[in-house]
Homo-oligomer: A and B are copies of this chain.
Amino acid sequence: MNRDDYLNRLRRIEGQVRGLQRMISDDEYCIDVLTQIASVSKALQGVGLGLLDEHLRHCVTDAVRNEGEAGEEKVHEAIQAVERLLRA
Q: Determine whether the beta carbon of B41 is less than 8 Å from that of A53.
A: no
Q: Determine whether the beta carbon of A49 is less than 8 Å from that of B11.
A: no
Which residues of B lie under 8 Å from residue A51 when comparing CB positions?
30, 33-34, 37
In the complex this chain forms, how many copies of it are found?
4
Per-position contact with B for A28-59: 1 when CB-CB < 8 Å, else 0? 00110111011111101101110111111101
Q: Determine whether the beta carbon of A10 is less than 8 Å from that of B20.
A: yes
Q: Determine whether the beta carbon of A38 is less than 8 Å from that of B88.
A: yes
A22 to chain B, nearest CB (A): 10
Which residues of B lie under 8 Å from residue A44 when comparing CB positions?
37, 40-41, 44
For the complex of A and B, 5 pairs with smallest distance between CB atoms: A30-B55, A41-B88, A38-B84, A38-B88, A34-B81
